Chains A and B, each alone.
Chain A
Amino acid sequence: MFPWLSSLIWLPIVGGVAVLAIGRIARSDSVRWVALSVSVLTFVLSMIVYGIFDTTTADFQLAEHAVWVDAFNVNYSVGIDGISLPLILLTTFLTVLVVIAGWRVIQYRISHYLAAFLLLEGLMIGVFSALDAVLFYIFWEGMLIPMFLIIGIWGGENRVYATIKFFLYTLLGSLLMLVAFLYLYNVSESSFSIVNWHALPIAHTAQILLFIAFFSAFAVKVPMVPVHTWLPDAHVEAPTGGSVILAAVMLKMGAYGFLRFTLPILPDASRTLAGVIIALSLIAIVYIALVALAQTDMKKLIAYSSISHMGFVTLGFFVFNTHGIEGGIVQMISHGFISGALFLCVGVLYDRLHSRKLETYGGVAHRMPVFAALMMIFTLANVGLPGTSGFVGEVLVIIGAFQESAIYAAIAALTLILGAAYTLRMYKRVIYGKIVNEAVSTLTDLNIQEKITLSVLAILVLLLGVWPFPLLEMMHPSVEHLISQISISKL
């Protein structure tokens, strides 16, 4: 059988290396076209994978298996289910947009920039399809390197501080995750297979300790309160493309980890500690929304909004019912589009006036009507308006949470008010109003690249809002399987 997943992982990585190689000799424009072709090809490939994916089974599909390090029973084994597939599609799609979005903006070391994103793409797809823990760990750690480079080289003034913070947070969690992997390897009689681990009986105390180890890796990535403070700084310093991938895909890694490792491997600990995770999620939803209300930097505002929205994801996962988990996954995908789009919108403004401050703007609609209209769609989607993708996940999670406790649902539903408050406040300050700052009156409306990226995202956000059926259908068997895994005790 054709190695679809390996092609999906390695095509962008090889493409990235190629871009690096020709970067020295070719003109910048050809480099751009090569990178675009690689990313489009990867996207097409992922659509083919979607086409042949069987949505009626919970098994890992398109699996590939090869012995890697025989001595330690490490295997190159990959495969996808209905939880990883949507995330892979999100990754391949957004990489294309990021390549287009950097077309004119990035002039400095363009080949390095594009290569970093292609490498990152391959590694992220690797994370979503790895079925061997060592392979997973390598992709997981490896993808941080291009991201550090992206922030470190093309980032803002305070990038060193932001990267240290990012690095410190991630380091601690990843090391603990590694320890957890080793423990599991030990008790599973020398297996790194994630699927085997799913069936492994584990004592309750051990489960709790493993839970904490996994939690420290995944919670940082999501990020959950109180380990979230790296995100606003990383976003502020990252270039637009970096912010898009960071918010849209990398934050999903942590959530994916919960679904792939924590819930199925440690069902008893998950049930014991669900209350803690739910509490942290609810705090994220309300507390972070309030913090977002106090922001004056657009990127920080969207970063805090992301944390608040990711609270919905973890809340949905830990109420352990179909609506909650499916809602959480839909929220992951939807948030990928919406936060990506909002960061692109900030990028559009930043490229023109080199400011992310709300007070710099005001009255942008007078000069950029097309931009104002598109940004309105993303603003409303961020607010969770029905008819946009933002609503689907929110309503499912609220329904799911209500089955568990009306109080959870009520606290989560506060986002309807708070989310609207901070998002519309940003829109009002930036887009509406009179032009106060002279510089705003020199703005020009969207160029062709910006129009393409934002319109495509707008169409997707609306489409998913009006017809989320295909996305939900994709994940049903896997989610049902996951729920059966959670409900069976492994003691």
Chain B
Amino acid sequence: MLTIYTLIPVSCLVAAIVAGLGGHIIGRTATHRVAITGVAISFVLSVYVLFDVLQGNYFDGMLYTWGTSGFLTFQIGFLIDELSAGMAVVVTFVSLMVHIYTIGYMHDDPGYQRFFSYIALFTFAMLMLVMSNNFLQLFFGWEGVGVVSYLLIGFWFDRDSAIHANMKAFLVNRIGDFGFILAIAAIVYVFSSLNYSDVFSQAASVENMTVEAFEGVNWKWLTIISLLLFVGAMGKSAQVPLHVWLPDSMEGPTPISALIHAATMVTAGIFMVARMSPLFEFSEVALTVVVTIGAITALFMALIGLVQNDIKRIVAYSTLSQLGYMTVALGVSAYAAGIFHLTTHAFFKALLFLAAGSVIVALHHQQDIRHMGGLKKIMPITYWTALVGSLALAGLPPFAGFFSKDTIIEAVHASQLPGSGFALFAVSIGVFVTALYSFRMLFIVFHGKPRMSEDELAHANESPWVITLPLVVLAVPSVIFGAIFAVPMLYGEFYDQSIFVLSQHDTLAHVGAGLAGQGGEISAWKIVLHGFITLPFWLAVAGIFVAWLLYIHRPEWPSLIQSRFKLLWQILDHKYGFDEFNEVVVASGTRGLGDVLWKFMDMYVIDGLVVNGLANSVRRISSRIRVIQSGFVYHYAFTMIIGLLLLITWFLIR
């Protein structure tokens, strides 16, 4: 089986290498065939492995020894359980869809082969991350996906905005990685190992190990480690205040917005925290931080989505908000719900991005929704699939998003954690806002009168099958996935092997007990029925109704509201000023500091006062003895002789 596990990431790596190094030799068609074959093999094998795991065949072992140092042995290996196998299926499935879609989307791009090489490489790195059985390899995959994301955001590298965005993404992620690598060092310090199995099995026994962080303040090591890991997760999963890179990452081609910046890479942080549940569970401080950050992200990023006009940025802010929901789930120890939402979100958000891409292609790279409208008739497949995606996103039963989001809200409700009260408020209001911005987009783009130019309208057509096929394929799980898998994955024993929850934190069990009622069994049908009588359902309906009111029934109202609440609108339009702050204070400040240090310390103090002073006196003396023109060798030989003379003198006088 180790061979099969290895083949899952490696077939993507091979595809990436062939496409990257040989792409120009074998041509476009062969390149995409190679890449798609590589990812398809991974997908098929992942599905096989998932079924194998469901038979009870787990695996935790090494592939090879990366290196050793002192008491540490670093190994590259795999941990195969429901969590990793399930993630691998999600990753390879979405990746495969995006690969197919790319054939259509990037059809005329001169960087066609390069693009396929990158996305195959991305899939490799993501799989290494997901399947890892140790922290070092996790970090390898973590940074690997980050780099490919960097390369892909800057794919069109002659656009200034793109190369600004990709550097920003890399640097902001690095702030997260700063926390991550310190977490790794702390784990070595506390556990003397980087293997998950060693670390997790010792977690309970080091629970009371503390360190004096400040005078008189003792912190649990597990709190410190969990918080440092979460800083890493905040970077990758774009939680406030490290979220600033994700909207800008939309500079990359749309297929990767779907794959990397919606479905897979950005959820790596969520996956990581779920994987580290045996550590986080022992730190209520860390969990409180997680739930608070998640709640802030969920609500405040959704609000920005209301005022965006770029179709991709609306979906991007939606992604930020949904990542916040997942983080909230982790914070209230409903890890399974976080992963479940990650999965359903991967389907419907990839779908929405690819649908947005389909519109963008049809309108020749027009991305402003104010220049769209009435596309429902022209692009029926795109419309209906986008509608499915929006309904799932808004969380209406029985779509997939309903099951995952509703569970999160219920779990927050059940949580006793400090901060869960605020979180409940945020995620509930968030439901209304989510429904509002997603249907605002849907109505403006597909309904009403066409607002694009005559020329654009004349050329607008439904996209070719390579684009619409992935939409349809992704629409299927967006509808049915929740109804089929919610019960076993959320309330069953599916994640018992991979996720650890202390009984006093087990919010999902509490929710499950409530749903089952007295002596009953949970079923999807019961969950749906329950959904109709809860507040989130009516908030979502209200959101859709308000969207209809504002953007179909009374389209003149939005601008009225905008002028009435000018200040509020400006705050949202400036995204709370994070970008301005970072640009003016952080980036310029650092550059300015570097400049001052260089010019003052290095050039003025060290060189100007000390070195050149010495050099000038030497020059003055040496010009007298007239050796300067002939270079320094003589000089040097001269001093060596002085040295030897010293040596001899020493012996003589000794």
Interface residues in chain A, defined as those with a beta carbon under 8 Å from any beta carbon in chain B:
72, 141, 144-145, 148-149, 152, 161, 163-165, 167-169, 171, 174-175, 178, 182, 186, 226, 229-230, 287, 289-295, 321-323, 326-327, 363, 365-366, 376, 380, 385-387, 391-392, 395-396, 398-399, 401-403, 406, 409-410, 413-414, 416-418, 420-421, 424-425, 428, 431-434, 466-469, 472-473, 476
Contact = CB atoms under 8 A, between A and B. Distances in A.
Contact of B635 (A167, A417, A467): A167
A287 B539 CA distance: 53
Contact of A167 (B175, B601, B636): B636
Nearest to A476: B68
Interface stretch (B348-356, B463-471, B607-615): B607-615
11 contacts: A182-B647, A290-B590, A293-B591, A326-B69, A386-B142, A395-B184, A421-B590, A425-B167, A433-B163, A468-B66, A469-B67
Contacts of B636: 141, 144-145, 148, 167
B618 A168 contact: yes
A387 B144 contact: yes
Contacts of B601: 287, 291
Given A290-B594, A291-B594, A424-B167, A148 B72 contact: no
A164 B186 contact: no
Contacts of A466: 66
Contact of B147 (A148, A322, A380, A425): A380
A323 B69 contact: yes
Given A182-B647, A403-B189, A432-B157, A322 B70 contact: yes
B261 to A, nearest CB: 19
B459 interface: no
B602 A229 contact: yes
Given A168-B611, A186-B654, A469-B68, A432 B163 contact: yes
B25 interface: no
A141 B607 CA distance: 24
B158 interface: yes
A290 B590 CA distance: 7
A152 B184 CA distance: 47
A403 B187 CA distance: 10
A433 B157 contact: yes
Contacts of A295: 598
Contacts of A167: 632, 635-636
Interface string B613-654: 011001100000000000111011101100100110011001
B188 interface: yes
A115 to B, nearest CB: 14
A386 B591 CA distance: 26
B65 A469 contact: yes
Contacts of B185: 398-399, 401-402, 406, 409, 413
A165 B145 CA distance: 44
Nearest to B146: A385
Contacts of A326: 69-70
A145 B597 contact: no
Contacts of B196: none
Given A416-B177, A416-B181, A163 B632 contact: yes
A472 B597 contact: no
Given A287-B601, A416-B177, 18 more contacts: A148-B632, A163-B631, A175-B643, A186-B654, A229-B606, A290-B598, A291-B597, A322-B70, A323-B188, A386-B139, A387-B140, A387-B143, A399-B189, A402-B185, A416-B178, A417-B178, A424-B171, A432-B157
Contacts of A376: 151
A186 to B, nearest CB: 7
Given A152-B632, A363-B158, A294 B181 contact: no
Majority secondary structure, A binding face:
helix
B651 A72 contact: yes
Contacts of B171: 417, 420-421, 424
Contact of A294 (B186, B598, B606): B598
B317 interface: no
Given A385-B143, A421-B171, A164 B590 contact: no
Identify the interface centre among B181, B599, B636, B639: most chain A CB within 10 Å of its CB: B181
B619 A467 contact: no
The 3 closest A-B pairs by CB, nearest first: A322-B70, A402-B185, A290-B594
A138 to B, nearest CB: 9
Given A168-B611, A468-B66, A148 B633 contact: yes
Contact of B632 (A164, A229, A323, A410): A164
B611 A323 contact: no
Interface of B: 64-72, 136, 139-140, 142-144, 147, 151, 154, 157-158, 160, 163, 167, 170-171, 174-175, 177-178, 181-182, 184-186, 188-189, 211, 590-591, 593-595, 597-599, 601-602, 606-607, 611, 614-615, 618-619, 631-633, 635-637, 639-640, 643, 646-647, 650-651, 654
Contacts of B178: 413-414, 416-417
B182 A402 contact: yes
A276 to B, nearest CB: 18
B70 A321 contact: yes
Contacts of B597: 287, 290-291, 294
A406 B183 CA distance: 10
Contacts of B619: 164
A321 B597 CA distance: 32
B453 to A, nearest CB: 27
B611 A165 contact: yes
A186 B594 CA distance: 47
B182 A398 contact: yes
A178 B182 contact: no
A396 B147 contact: no
Given A148-B631, A398-B181, A413-B181, A182 B66 contact: no
A344 to B, nearest CB: 21
A226 B163 contact: no
B646 A469 contact: no
A330 B72 CA distance: 16
Given A229-B611, A469-B68, A178 B189 contact: no
Given A293-B594, A294-B598, A414-B178, A399 B184 contact: yes
A145 B636 CA distance: 7
A420 B174 contact: yes
A363 B156 CA distance: 11
B354 to A, nearest CB: 27
A92 to B, nearest CB: 23
B66 A141 contact: no
A401 B182 CA distance: 10
Contacts of B160: 433-434
A341 B12 CA distance: 28
Contacts of B651: 72
B285 to A, nearest CB: 17
Contacts of B163: 428, 432-433
B68 to A, nearest CB: 6
A145 B633 contact: yes
A473 B68 contact: yes
Contacts of B647: 178, 182
Contacts of A226: 606
Contacts of A294: 591, 594-595, 597-599
Contacts of A287: 597, 601
A68 to B, nearest CB: 14
Contacts of A174: 643
B188 A399 contact: yes
A413 B631 CA distance: 43
